[in-house]
Structure 1
């Protein structure tokens, strides 16, 4: 695999997806399923939809989904995955979220693992603040992110992974307008590239707008 030596967000993620025929499992993120499976469907915004598994899962459960990714390659695979599942009606949009953001408000805004090695300082915070602005009254903001590196990583990169407290502080939420329903750090199994056993910690925030 040839490393990408640029700092352009679109170029990085295009390279990331074009280097592999498929990156992800095709299954929805486990914490999306855990937190949203029992929620009545409405409109949903899926940020960083990648190859489309979360968007398809939501649509299969009656959600009206707008799905966003920076990579046209990823979006092409997402459309194909939806077609394979017989799912129609998802609004697939290409956005570099640091520069453009979909319009409207949504009953659910789903932000799973919005980490990027080429992001500028504070870029993720700004995107998540825009995500919060996109939540309709009564709706949910679900943010899932890595809290640490897998246990089998011997020399982890020097990249800060924010805590839930740091994410909440960066959102600048008005306490009278929002309720934090879930604030949790979870250990999950995470095998290495050669099948090495291991675990990894993830942060989960589910926040409801009044």
Structure 2
């Protein structure tokens, strides 16, 4: 069994945790999370899909949801942090797609959407349940014929407990994700480990080690 699946959760990843990350601490400490461009994997993995309904599970600041909305998708962005959603709504308005995105304050560990979606995606989202169980939950929200897109932190021996190396329980591998997709119900299109450089931090460019999985739910 994959190590990421067995590692016990040492972070709560609850509402208080994410509000602190997005809004800063009560002691006036700055927010850890900030604005970022949409994931480059979004374009490569969805460019051939017809626009339809989409759910961004754990949408954070809304970059990916706004990117889809600008390309004709009807998007729902769900996140546990009210601060993150406020920033996402501001971004959508500034990009002229404020009417195309519905923002929902929701705990992905317990929330159930009121329908299914042509595309369900998540980018580095963590909830107060084991990571692979989160992926199990959001996979159930994909409509027949629809697409699941998971972008997450790759489980490697470099995984740590700081801002650049997520805790082990928040990571996965392509094999650990695809093993939970019933082959009678899913066709796996992409299951890869990828690396990319991100913005400089204290004069250094960080390298992100990612897992990217895309699957189509059979009709």
TM-score using structure 1 length: 0.84
> CA 1:33 to 1:25, structure 2 compared with 1: closer, same or farther past 3 Å?
farther
Q: 1:44 aligns with which of 45, 50, 54?
A: 54
Matched, 1:184 2:192: yes
Q: 1:18 aligns with which of 9, 23, 28?
A: 23
> CA 1:31 to 1:24, structure 2 compared with 1: closer, same or farther past 3 Å?
farther
Within 5 Å, which residues of 2 pair with 1:14-93?
14-19=19-24, 20=30, 23-87=33-97, 88-93=99-104
C-alpha displacement at 1:26, in angstroms? 4.0
Matched, 1:130 2:140: no
Q: What root-mean-square deviation, in Å, do the aligned CA atoms of Structure 1 and Structure 2 show?
A: 2.5
Q: 2:201 aligns with which of 181, 185, 193?
A: 193
- The question of whether the paired residues in 2 share the 8 Å contact of 1:26 and 1:52 is answered with no
For residues 24-51 of structure 1, the C-alpha deviation after alignment (integer angstroms, 9 at most, x for no partner) is 3342111112211232101001001111
Matched, 1:106 2:106: no
TM-score using structure 2 length: 0.81
- 2-side partners of 1:106 and 1:198: how far apart? 34
Of 132-141 and 185-194, deviating more is 185-194
Q: Which runs of 5+ in 2 are unaligned?
A: 1-10, 25-29
C-alpha displacement at 1:52, in angstroms? 0.8
C-alpha displacement at 1:159, in angstroms? 2.2
C-alpha displacement at 1:69, in angstroms? 0.3
- 2-side partners of 1:193 and 1:83: how far apart? 29
- 2-side partners of 1:112 and 1:189: how far apart? 16
Q: Which runs of 5+ in 1 are unaligned?
A: 1-5
- The question of whether the paired residues in 2 share the 8 Å contact of 1:150 and 1:190 is answered with no
- The question of whether the paired residues in 1 share the 8 Å contact of 2:178 and 2:191 is answered with no
C-alpha displacement at 1:191, in angstroms? 4.8
- 2-side partners of 1:92 and 1:63: how far apart? 14
C-alpha displacement at 1:192, in angstroms? 5.1
- The question of whether the paired residues in 1 share the 8 Å contact of 2:148 and 2:214 is answered with yes
- The question of whether the paired residues in 2 share the 8 Å contact of 1:44 and 1:63 is answered with yes
